[in-house]
């Protein structure tokens, strides 16, 4: 029918327009990363460069960048492992047990997710400075765990709640302890939720800039986001190099997301979103 | 409940490590900020802290800077919340139609949310450059502007510009929430209404929106909180400038603490931020927990 066809067309047009608006910055980032230095700064900007180059990517092949990557990997992995380990155990406790403070403490978790980060600036800085741990990667891990754990617990509790207790009961009747039930029965079934929390914790720590900037002064301890900021000099910003580094920083995460989006997206809304 | 008796103490053991981390990690800063707000100390917190009662609060609440920043934060929070929900809903609505290839579009729309905030901020800063920025060129070619404009460097436009970037980056969030909700509305409702000769507009108004009401409320409260807490984007794109025109409260706390080295002042503003947001936070938490016990 005509009205159906035209409204479908309209919908597609809207989708395409929105997609272009969303994708344009990405395209520009990629394009700039392969432009020659003069082209990057031409005014008006060059839309179709005559020469392409990979020179801008030299920055990420340096040992310095390798160290940044290593530091980021280290911090993010440790953070993720702690958040998942502590969080899933806690989620199991919240989901399967009833105790007096249960609702209150669960609420505290949720509050934790929503607290302004600015509340943590001064106290954490002063505390770590006093202990003398200011310029270490461990400090970052502590801060990242504190900021990611609440949300992780919340998602995992919801997820485990949706796993029928009959599974637990069957295992308990078979003689397992609560601990065994948790590890052998509940966690395997909860693995999509666990993967989601791991993914979210990882990318949240990977891109965290604020506290990294605040605490890490020694160059050899810096993480990737700080490396990106390093492309900005006082008078001159190496935009070409920066865009290349940005591609290098953003690409892995983006690819992982695109490949696994079917699993991750439902986790974001607590399983309500189909495929 | 089969676990309620035997499990009373056991459950506490499971949640203990997590709760220690959370309570210590969150209660400590809040309380310490509160404490610092009542004192004045030397530089970088060295030296003795002297009790000054409400002097810090008084001077902050009387300073013009603070109210300028507060005003910016108000515009930022309200503007973003309204616009981002409209945008998110529009995208969700489009994605909810049975169109071929909508999964591809959904992945595309989610991309800004997935990339690091710093990458987004830097790309946009590059595109907004007054000489070689792509955005300026596009606007000029479309005849929307007459010349290249320093969006981030003028106090009239700085805040709004960063808001637009925030919208670009975060709109997938309400989009996903609305999409999840939209998909729970059964098709039969729409079919029945169409059989009664309802047009699209009526479908939207009388079926879709009412069924979305709960989600809209939850998303609104959440967006208010998230926008209010925002820091990264303004810090990287403008640093609060020019002349604090794009400075929002979280940025102000950072500025006071680490640029002006006024830790006590920073702590005072942080406490004020906490007090301001706690209402919305508790609102959201009580709503969500309430739903939990309804379905749990």
pTM: 0.90
- A162-206: pLDDT as tens digits: 888 888 888 888 888 888 888 888 888 888 889 889 988 998 898
Mean confidence (pLDDT) of chain B: 87
Phi, psi of B256 (to 5 degrees): -60, -40
Q: Residue B11 has what pLDDT? A: 78
In this prediction, residues B247-268 reach a mean pLDDT of 92
Of A105, A106, A116, which has the smallest distance from its Cβ to B229's Cβ?
A116
Residue A70, SS3 per DSSP: helix
Of B22, B118, B179, which has the smallest distance from its Cβ to A228's Cβ?
B118
Phi, psi of A35 (to 5 degrees): -85, 155
Query: Count H helices, E strands: chain A?
Result: 13, 0
Mutate to test the interface with A, among B115, B185, B236, B279 (most CBs of A within 10 A): B115
What span, in angstroms and rounded, lies between the C-alpha atoms of B291 and B285? 10
Q: Residue B45 has what pLDDT? A: 52
| Residues contacting A253, CB < 8 A, separation 6+ | A203, A206, A207, B114, B115, B116
Query: For residues B179 and B96, is the Cβ–Cβ distance under 8 A?
Result: yes
Q: How far is A65 from chain B (nearest CA, A)?
A: 16
| Residues contacting B22, CB < 8 A, separation 6+ | A108, A109, A112, A146, A149, A150, A153
| Residues contacting B263, CB < 8 A, separation 6+ | A122, A126, B36, B41, B44, B45, B256, B257
Q: Residue B296 has what pLDDT? A: 37
> Chain A partners of B22 at a C-beta cutoff of 8 Å?
108-109, 112, 146, 149-150, 153
Can you list the residues of chain A whose pLDDT is less than 50? 1-2, 271-275
Taking CA atoms, A214 is separated from A113, A119, A121, B240, in Å, by: 21, 14, 9, 17
Residue A217 or residue B226, greater confidence: B226
Query: Under an 8 A CB cutoff, do B183 and A273 touch?
Result: yes
- B153-170: pLDDT as tens digits: 998 999 999 999 999 999
Q: Report the complex ipTM.
A: 0.88
What span, in angstroms and rounded, lies between the C-alpha atoms of B75 and B158? 12
DSSP lists the bridge partners of residue B40 as: B50
Mutate to test the interface with A, among B15, B93, B215 (most CBs of A within 10 A): B15
Nearest partner of A95 among A172, A173, A181, A174, judged by Cα: A181
> Chain B partners of A92 at a C-beta cutoff of 8 Å?
14
Please, which pLDDT band fits residue B127 given cuts at 50, 70 and 90? very high
In this prediction, residues B3-8 reach a mean pLDDT of 51
Strands B50-51, B39-40: pairing kind = antiparallel
Of A32, A97, A119, which has the smallest distance from its Cβ to B29's Cβ?
A119
Q: Residue A273 has what pLDDT? A: 45
Structure tokens at A13: 């047009």
Mutate to test the interface with B, among A30, A46, A122 (most CBs of B within 10 A): A122
């Amino acid at each position: 029918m005509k009205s159906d066809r035209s409204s479908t067309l309209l919908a597609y047009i809207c989708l395409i327009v929105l997609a272009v608006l969303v994708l344009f910055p990405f395209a520009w980032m990629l394009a700039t990363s392969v432009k020659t230095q003069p082209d990057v700064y031409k005014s008006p900007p060059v839309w179709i460069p005559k020469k392409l180059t990979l020179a801008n990517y030299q920055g990420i092949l340096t040992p310095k960048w390798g160290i940044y990557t290593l530091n980021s990997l280290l911090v993010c992995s440790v953070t993720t492992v702690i958040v998942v380990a502590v969080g899933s155990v806690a989620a199991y406790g919240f989901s399967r047990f009833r105790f007096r403070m249960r609702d209150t403490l669960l609420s505290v978790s949720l509050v934790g997710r929503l607290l302004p980060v600015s509340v943590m600036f001064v106290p954490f800085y002063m505390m770590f400075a006093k202990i003398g741990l200011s310029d270490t990667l461990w400090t970052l891990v502590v801060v990242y765990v504190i900021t990611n754990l609440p949300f992780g617990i919340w998602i995992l509790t919801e997820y485990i709640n949706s796993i029928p207790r009959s599974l637990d009961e069957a295992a308990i009747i078979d003689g397992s302890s609560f601990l065994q039930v948790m590890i052998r029965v509940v966690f395997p079934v909860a693995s999509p939720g666990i993967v989601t929390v791991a993914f979210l914790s990882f990318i949240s720590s990977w891109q965290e800039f604020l506290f990294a900037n605040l605490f890490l002064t020694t160059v050899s301890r810096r993480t990737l986001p700080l490396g990106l900021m390093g492309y900005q000099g006082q008078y001159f910003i190496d935009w070409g190099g920066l865009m290349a580094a940005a591609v290098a920083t953003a690409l892995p995460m983006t690819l992982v997301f695109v490949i696994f989006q079917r699993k991750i997206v439902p986790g974001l809304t607590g399983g309500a979103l189909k495929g | 409940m089969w676990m309620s008796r035997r499990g009373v103490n056991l459950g506490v053991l499971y949640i203990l490590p997590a709760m220690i981390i959370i309570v210590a990690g969150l209660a400590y800063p809040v309380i310490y900020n509160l404490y610092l707000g009542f004192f004045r100390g030397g530089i970088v917190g060295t030296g003795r802290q002297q009790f000054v009662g409400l002097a810090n609060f008084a001077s902050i609440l009387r300073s013009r800077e603070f109210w300028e920043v507060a005003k910016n934060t108000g515009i930022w929070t309200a503007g973003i919340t309204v616009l981002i929900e409209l945008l998110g809903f529009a995208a969700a609505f489009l994605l909810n139609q049975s169109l071929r290839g909508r999964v591809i579009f959904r992945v595309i729309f989610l991309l800004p949310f997935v990339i690091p905030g710093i990458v987004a901020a830097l790309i946009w800063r590059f595109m907004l450059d007054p000489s070689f920025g792509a955005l300026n060129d596009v606007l000029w070619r479309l005849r929307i502007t007459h010349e290249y404009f320093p969006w981030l460097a003028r106090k009239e436009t700085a805040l709004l510009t960063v808001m637009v970037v925030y919208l670009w980056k975060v709109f997938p969030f309400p989009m996903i929430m609305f999409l999840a909700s939209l998909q729970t509305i059964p098709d039969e409702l729409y079919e029945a209404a169409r059989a009664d000769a309802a047009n699209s507009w009526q479908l939207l108004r009388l079926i879709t929106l009412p069924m979305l009401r709960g989600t809209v409320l939850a998303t609104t409260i959440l967006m208010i909180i998230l926008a209010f807490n925002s820091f990264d984007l303004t810090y990287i794109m403008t640093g609060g400038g020019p002349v604090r025109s794009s400075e929002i409260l979280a940025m102000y706390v950072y500025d006071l603490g680490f640029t002006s080295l006024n830790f006590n002042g920073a702590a005072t503003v942080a406490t004020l931020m906490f007090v301001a947001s706690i209402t919305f936070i508790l609102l959201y938490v009580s709503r969500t927990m309430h739903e939990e016990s309804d379905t749990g």
